Structure 1
Amino acid sequence: MKKSSKKVNLFIISALVLALIITGFPIQQQTSAALAQDLVKAANGETHVIFDYNRLRGADQIIVYTPEFGASTKNNRWGVEVVVEDGMITEVRDGTVVDLSNAPIPENGFVVSAHGTARTWVMANLKEGDTVEILEDVITDPVRTSTFSINKIDPQAPYEFPGGRGADELVVYTSSYGKERTGTNQYGAEFIVRNGIVVEMSGSNSLIPEDGFVVSGHGAAQRWILENTQVGAEVTFDPNTMKITSRIDASAYIRAAELVIEKASAQIEAAETNFLDVPIEEAKSSLNEAAESLRMAEEAFGKEDWQRTIDYSELAAQQANKAGFQTVESKVVDARGVWHRPTESNREDIIETLDKLADSNFNILFLETFFHGYTIYPSEIAEQNPNFVGWNPLEVFIEEGKKRGIEVHAWVHTFFVGHESLNPPGPILTEHPEWAAVDREGRIPSVKEVGYYYLNPALPAVRDHLSSIFNEMISTHDVDGLHLDYIRYPVSLPIENGYSYDEYSRNEFKKVSGVDPLDITPADTELWEAWNVWRQNQISSFVERIHGEVKEVDESLELSTAVFPEVSDAIDQKFQNWVEWVSAGYMDFITPMIYAVDTNYVQRTTNSFLDRFQQPVLSYIGLAPFVGFSDELLVDQVKAMTETDAAGQVQFALHSLRAEHFEALKAGPQRKKAFLPHADPMHAAKLLVKDIKRKIADIYIPRDGVDHPAIRALEQKFRNLERAVGKGEISEVNGKILEAQDFIKDREKHIRPAVSEHLLKDLDQMEQLMDFAEFKQQ
């Protein structure tokens, strides 16, 4: 059986509002429009298409989980999971009837997990005690054709929804639309067609080609896109009948591979032209391998061998993608993090995990140390997670991490302490039910975050208890930092779902305002704003407290947090005022969770997030491979982050990273080892200036990026900068940075534009490091 997805360059993700046990974020989907499909075959002969392997389950999907994924599926209860050992069904776990979730994955088998319509099929055909098979690469028909109704073509304002695309609608945008992009939001799927061929699967707000069109779908239309289109497919539409048709055969895979090869060739050419610090010859070699595989695919197509056509086309796409990855620069000062919920059972397992991270040059691990009210280590204050009783995995992670140059930060779920699918309400609220956060209707757990139990952030006893756990954690373990997650109220809009309307909070607010918050609504503008600010202050004051306590234990310990990037979400709905925390200097670095498939959206949101900073706090952007990123999309988003002022990125989460992800990162943006910016900004600056000098000597001068009259002076500017960094005086370093910047701008006739851009960008990073170093000294 295959153990991970083989789909190559056929990728699309869309938002589905489906609560996750781990994140609370919506699952998003990739396309399943494959000619050759894998099937689950029941004992009665009935079959169903497998959507994919080893990724979180979405709506109406069958996902198969193998031991490669981990110890369990990590899915919520809203589906059915069938445990298979040695080809025999040993358990059917219908979570919609009995509260079952997160099925264990047997070492000698797999789990079939299904939701919605797929669940209906499973319940009808897979029975405990029956046999079940996985059939791979089944081609039931050499041509797949599908037609769907169009709701709108080139809709015009005013719009009820972004881009004029409403619920369950399929919209076609042509060059007559009058706008450069579709204007849609991320809650759907799109594809771009040129000359009748799908050239790109997109997420939202797609660029509309002059020689083609964009198709955008939401809901049912989105599902049609995901299930019936892919890169290379033929797509036509008829404005008279308002119908659109997709056609997929083996030639679609050849066309898809050709597009990837074309893109990689352009990337190699651009890398050479723009003086990029990348292994050009290795990229060319990978591209040559792709061309040979494509030739084999075309030969197989001529013989009507559809399976070999698909296999060689996919191999060609993989090789061409690798060539593209090899044209991505790798920084020497960069945060490369990953969030991880531990499932390891011994030291050997931990070594295996950390070796995998070290091999791909990750340098920071956010280890989930306190979640669902349990610690992973033996605690004098909290209950230890039953999965780790008898040993201390945190201690081992720290010890082995130091050997590999990987920082370990204790990632803690602050006010979220239980889920209805996992021993509800958890150990803390079982012992202290009076500590629970209560919504306006008096309900526990959350309605908007289905099944989530939260502590009341305002209660002194809650704050003291969490403080004691965190202080114990950082005092008894040599962690590199404390990473606060769920440092917020539960989602509190609309008003009837708002928090926190317990007796204590109501009385405390009444003391300062004279009114009971139950008696006010958003119509009471000033009082409602005061109530919102009061709730924000409960979170912010706790952050301030933890900051002080962390620094009292060890000034070098880093305090960081995972936050929602958009103020309308973080502050207005969850009272998570990270803007205030950054301004007050409570955070050493911050990780906004910018979870989307649309790379343009991720980049725009990153820039908007950073624009709100009033202190030079470093930001490591949280990315979302857990929703099903392809290796190509992952590298695209990491690369996009290097084009912003972000100091690095963090992947959510380790269990979602497959072998192809690690290989892609290692071939591209994580090819070199990197130093963490926050660890020692002055040392980071030393490494950075040394690397700049290397690029000048090995790339820019030999490739004629700098004219002879400017060479000696340019080299001298960076020698001066290196000496200043060696002295460790921030003001002197800043002076030399300014001198180098001015020189580069003044010598624009003698320095190629691309080289100037690289040098100025590196100097901007050094300036950021100096600002952070000064901030740390305050």
Structure 2
Amino acid sequence: MSKLSHWRKLLLSVILWPIAISTQAAQEPVDQSVYRVRRSEPLNPENLTKDYLQAKNLFNNVTLRLKQSQDRWRDAPLGRAEIDQVIAQLALINTEFLLNRQDLEAASKDLDLALTRLRNAQLSLTLSRPVEMRGMFLDAGSLPKSQEGISQLLDQLQDTGFNTLYPEVFRRGYAIYPNSRFTDQDPELKNLGFDPLWELIRESQKRNLRVIPWVWTFRVRSPGFGNPILNRVPALASMPADMEDTKSVPRFLSAAAPESREYVFNLFQEMLDRYPVQGILLDYIRYDEAIPEDAISATRFRQEYFKKHGEFPPLKIAKGTPLFQEWQLWREEQVNATVRKLKQNLRGYRKERVLLGGSVFRSESYSRLTKMQNWRHWADNNWIDFASSMFYTPDKKDLNLWLDWETNGGKRQDMLYPVLGAHRFESPEDIFGQIGVLQDLNTGGLSIFALAHFKKESLPDLKQGPFRKPALVPHEDLLLDLRTLLTDMGQWLYRVSEDPQAPAPEALNSFRSQLLSLKTTYDKIPGKSYSALQLQTPLDELLQELEKKPLPALFKQEIKDRLSYLEKLIAIKARQEISAKGYTPSTLPSVVVIPATRQIPSAKVPWTPAPPIIDGHLDAGEWQDATEIKIKYWYNGYSENGINTSVFLSYDRDNLYLAFDNEEPNLDRVSAEANSADDKRIFSADDAVEIMLAPNQQKQKYFHFALNSKNTRYDARVGDSSWNGSWKSAVAPHGEGWQVEMAIPLRELGINPQKGIELAGNFFRNRFQEVTPFAAWSVPFENYHTPARFGRLFLD
């Protein structure tokens, strides 16, 4: 924990490339990523120089993060990180010296030493929590085929710091264990001479590893493999309702058939009767996205509708109608009923609680509206103990956004164990930044999908970094979790207080005593009966005491951040207590079109005697007489988008002038990946505006313009992006948002700019930080490229 020593300062004074760290940078959140420099081949002066310069940049990055961590007195082996940083610095100085002497072999060895030490320093800067889900998905194909191999694998995972295993017990309709009454054993594991599931559980018990079987629920078949379940119960298959799609190969049991649920329950019951597992993780607990309107569902819905209304519904239910909302809710209820009934079956099944988790798709618009997977409803009624949203990405920035979706902007309090997709990592180091984001946002932990894709060379790095402390799983014993976290914090604050340069020692020791008093309070609470309020009230009092202490601001914030994890765990219990009081109805899905959006909008475009200067700044005098229209609705017409976007229009004898005033409450999330003309990433990843324009009588021959927040532009004529117009544009930040100005020569579009001329057009805004990222002036309902839905523009 010590600050830079005298000899360290002397070393910095002779370094060839001094490092300056601004006060602002020191106050930013500490990045817990692990970055690497990939060595270039072959070894020559150009490649070595390039690698050396990248290593210098990495050194500067590590130095910044070390300084940030020291200012916060973070609970990490900072002394070890500093030693590694110093050695890296010396090695880089020597690398430069040897490069100048053209001793490439020696310089390369010193550079390798520097990079190794910088990697070690980064691992030391990561935080490690003593309460955290650390799960590994064990896909059936990667299970070792010998008892010795299973034992060795579990030794590796336990030694690394994992605490939970998710073996793939049911996949493709097969069980990995032998002699099931309801299906066949997986052919890959059939002739091992032992029961792989029993062996896995037996060895896991020796190592205090939890085993929660990962099961395919309704999906019972994969192309190219056998069909053991549907061969037994073919009438339960999910088949197209219209029976015209003869190419569809049934993969799922129909969620609407009570017999399907019973079959699944029998499988799970058999497993639980035989094996002492800690829970079940439901995968494929949903409809088949390829057949969301299967024949059994359609038939049963029509029958129930007739009983309720005295008539049958239409064969084809139009999207966006109240009837479609009823159809959506009915299908959701088929999946809900499966989860609800299974939870009821598990309650009291054993003396020990049998957990139920759901492996779910992220974002309500996808998991719920596409797959009928309304896990928020399950959690609201305590039908699941945790949700494992699939966060498959190489980019840690995505996790910030996705967690915002899953928690409804931080308003929901659920036990979330996101699943990180090793199959999507671009490098093994991607996992460290992602773990850091989950920790910063007080998520209960993580699991890794899956062993087949995970690089085992990362295991020692996890042990050295974020898994260095052994961890309890958060869902088993909340009181034990809180006491463990407080004990760990007390040890951290004691180490800080022992440092000769400890900040405000008297205040620090006083607060540490108060923190340990809170642990004593928790020790006295009966373990079987307590409320969230009993836990939160004394924690609030501790936080109030912290505010009074004259501790450095960054150190105080670090303590608050640590205590906020306790607050999160208590808030989850508080939500569970509310859920236990009675049934919470499902919210209505947003699938009904707002009637006002069906109208084609129109606007008058006024003549301007003084054209605006196209500089991206919407000066009031330039646009005061322009027509203002609003991009108000999502493209599907189901709801308003809630973010203000104003479009201003005017024209003169040469151009149509447009301006966008884009409100943006989350400027740090604005994306602009497209960086060259006609780069189509502008449509798939970027915050952008789009314009469609055409002569009114030739809507099908429309022109398409788009630009992102960096003024990267796209234009096309009837989808042909080789067309390039001579339009002008500029973009500029403005307060809580960004602004656009454009001038489009109308004659290039075949439009004579004079009063009385009518144009067809539409205006759009894309914000990929939203679950539904597309908003429109005239709602197209399906695709932006829908000329029949273009609005009417009259040159006035």
TM-score (norm 1): 0.63
Q: Can you list the C-alpha shifts for 1:621-646, whole angstroms capped at 9, x where unaligned?
A: 21122223424321111011111131
Q: Can you list the C-alpha shifts for 1:555-603, whole angstroms capped at 9, x where unaligned?
A: 6111111111211110111111111111111111111111112211212
Uncovered stretches (5+) of structure 1, i.e. residues with no partner = 1-229, 234-246, 492-496
Match for residue 590 of structure 1 among 375, 382, 387: 387
Shift of 1:757: 1.8
Match for residue 539 of structure 2 among 725, 733, 737: 737
The letter of the residue matching 2:63 is S
Q: Could you tell me which residue of structure 1 aligns to residue 470 of structure 2?
A: 673
Secondary structure of 1:431's counterpart equals coil
For 1:516-665, list aligned pairs within 5 A: 516=313, 518-522=315-319, 525-554=321-350, 556-611=353-408, 616-665=413-462
Q: Can you list the C-alpha shifts for 1:299-342, whole angstroms capped at 9, x where unaligned?
A: 77557787887776566434312211111111111111111113
Query: Is residue 386 from structure 1 mapped to residue 187 from structure 2 by the alignment?
Result: yes
Secondary structure of 2:259's counterpart equals helix
Q: Could you tell me which residue of structure 1 aligns to residue 77 of structure 2?
A: 279
Q: Is the 8 A contact 2:133 2:417 kept in 1?
A: yes
Q: Can you list the C-alpha shifts for 1:197-253, whole angstroms capped at 9, x where unaligned?
A: xxxxxxxxxxxxxxxxxxxxxxxxxxxxxxxxx9899xxxxxxxxxxxxx9844322
The letter of the residue matching 1:383 is D
The letter of the residue matching 1:734 is Q
Shift of 1:427: 1.1
Shift of 1:380: 2.5
CA distance in 1, matches of 2:460, 2:426: 14
The letter of the residue matching 1:341 is D
Shift of 1:440: 5.1
Shift of 1:504: 5.4
The letter of the residue matching 1:409 is I
CA distance in 2, matches of 1:506, 1:575: 17
Uncovered stretches (5+) of structure 2, i.e. residues with no partner = 1-36, 581-796
Q: Could you tell me which residue of structure 1 aligns to residue 5 of structure 2?
A: none
Identify if the C-alpha distance between structure 1 residues 324 and 441 changes in structure 2 by more than 3 Å, giving closer, same or farther: farther
CA distance in 2, matches of 1:712, 1:546: 50
Q: Could you tell me which residue of structure 2 aligns to residue 413 of structure 1?
A: 216
CA distance in 2, matches of 1:313, 1:510: 73
CA distance in 1, matches of 2:540, 2:199: 45
Shift of 1:429: 1.7
Q: Could you tell me which residue of structure 2 aligns to residue 682 of structure 1?
A: 479
Q: Could you tell me which residue of structure 2 aligns to residue 89 of structure 1?
A: none
Q: Could you tell me which residue of structure 2 aligns to residue 724 of structure 1?
A: 521
The letter of the residue matching 1:405 is N
Identify if the C-alpha distance between structure 1 residues 718 and 381 changes in structure 2 by more than 3 Å, giving closer, same or farther: same
Secondary structure of 1:362's counterpart equals coil
Q: Can you list the C-alpha shifts for 1:327-361, whole angstroms capped at 9, x where unaligned?
A: 11111111111111132112211111111111110
Secondary structure of 2:452's counterpart equals helix
Q: Could you tell me which residue of structure 2 aligns to residue 502 of structure 1?
A: 295
Q: Is the 8 A contact 2:297 2:331 kept in 1?
A: no
Secondary structure of 1:650's counterpart equals strand
Secondary structure of 1:665's counterpart equals helix
CA distance in 2, matches of 1:413, 1:440: 23
CA distance in 1, matches of 2:121, 2:417: 27
Q: Could you tell me which residue of structure 1 aligns to residue 269 of structure 2?
A: 471
Identify if the C-alpha distance between structure 1 residues 590 and 303 changes in structure 2 by more than 3 Å, giving closer, same or farther: same
Identify if the C-alpha distance between structure 1 residues 359 and 444 changes in structure 2 by more than 3 Å, giving closer, same or farther: farther
Q: Is the 8 A contact 1:682 1:769 kept in 2?
A: no
Q: Is the 8 A contact 2:254 2:296 kept in 1?
A: no
Match for residue 201 of structure 2 among 387, 391, 398: 398
The letter of the residue matching 1:337 is G
Match for residue 164 of structure 2 among 364, 374, 391: 364
CA distance in 2, matches of 1:562, 1:361: 22
Q: Is the 8 A contact 1:642 1:648 kept in 2?
A: yes
Secondary structure of 1:489's counterpart equals coil
Shift of 1:614: 7.4
Shift of 1:483: 0.3
Identify if the C-alpha distance between structure 1 residues 432 and 614 changes in structure 2 by more than 3 Å, giving closer, same or farther: farther
For 1:107-186, list aligned pairs within 5 A: none
The letter of the residue matching 1:739 is E
Q: Can you list the C-alpha shifts for 1:65-124, whole angstroms capped at 9, x where unaligned?
A: xxxxxxxxxxxxxxxxxxxxxxxxxxxxxxxxxxxxxxxxxxxxxxxxxxxxxxxxxxxx
Moved more, 252-261 or 737-746: 252-261
Shift of 1:764: 2.2
Identify if the C-alpha distance between structure 1 residues 416 and 466 changes in structure 2 by more than 3 Å, giving closer, same or farther: same
CA distance in 1, matches of 2:525, 2:116: 46
Q: Is the 8 A contact 1:339 1:368 kept in 2?
A: yes
Q: Could you tell me which residue of structure 2 aligns to residue 208 of structure 1?
A: none
Secondary structure of 2:429's counterpart equals helix
CA distance in 2, matches of 1:284, 1:720: 34
Identify if the C-alpha distance between structure 1 residues 579 and 504 changes in structure 2 by more than 3 Å, giving closer, same or farther: closer
Q: Could you tell me which residue of structure 2 aligns to residue 351 of structure 1?
A: 151
Q: Can you list the C-alpha shifts for 1:128-176, whole angstroms capped at 9, x where unaligned?
A: xxxxxxxxxxxxxxxxxxxxxxxxxxxxxxxxxxxxxxxxxxxxxxxxx
Q: Can you list the C-alpha shifts for 1:667-712, whole angstroms capped at 9, x where unaligned?
A: 2111111111112111111111111111221115636555245245
Identify if the C-alpha distance between structure 1 residues 552 and 517 changes in structure 2 by more than 3 Å, giving closer, same or farther: farther
Query: Is residue 764 from structure 1 mapped to residue 564 from structure 2 by the alignment?
Result: yes
Match for residue 554 of structure 2 among 754, 757, 777: 754
Q: Is the 8 A contact 2:242 2:295 kept in 1?
A: no
Moved more, 472-481 or 257-266: 257-266
> What is the Cα-based RMSD across aligned positions, in Å?
2.9
CA distance in 1, matches of 2:78, 2:297: 65
Identify if the C-alpha distance between structure 1 residues 321 and 542 changes in structure 2 by more than 3 Å, giving closer, same or farther: same
Taking only the aligned residue pairs, the percentage that are identical comes to 23
Shift of 1:489: 1.0
Moved more, 603-612 or 373-382: 603-612
Secondary structure of 1:416's counterpart equals coil
Shift of 1:456: 1.0
The letter of the residue matching 2:238 is A
Identify if the C-alpha distance between structure 1 residues 283 and 528 changes in structure 2 by more than 3 Å, giving closer, same or farther: same
Secondary structure of 2:214's counterpart equals strand
Q: Is the 8 A contact 2:135 2:446 kept in 1?
A: yes
CA distance in 2, matches of 1:562, 1:286: 40
CA distance in 2, matches of 1:569, 1:277: 39
Q: Can you list the C-alpha shifts for 1:450-481, whole angstroms capped at 9, x where unaligned?
A: x7822211112211100111111122211011
Q: Is the 8 A contact 2:239 2:250 kept in 1?
A: no
Identify if the C-alpha distance between structure 1 residues 716 and 280 changes in structure 2 by more than 3 Å, giving closer, same or farther: closer
Match for residue 488 of structure 2 among 691, 699, 708: 691
CA distance in 2, matches of 1:478, 1:444: 43
TM-score (norm 2): 0.61
The letter of the residue matching 2:539 is I
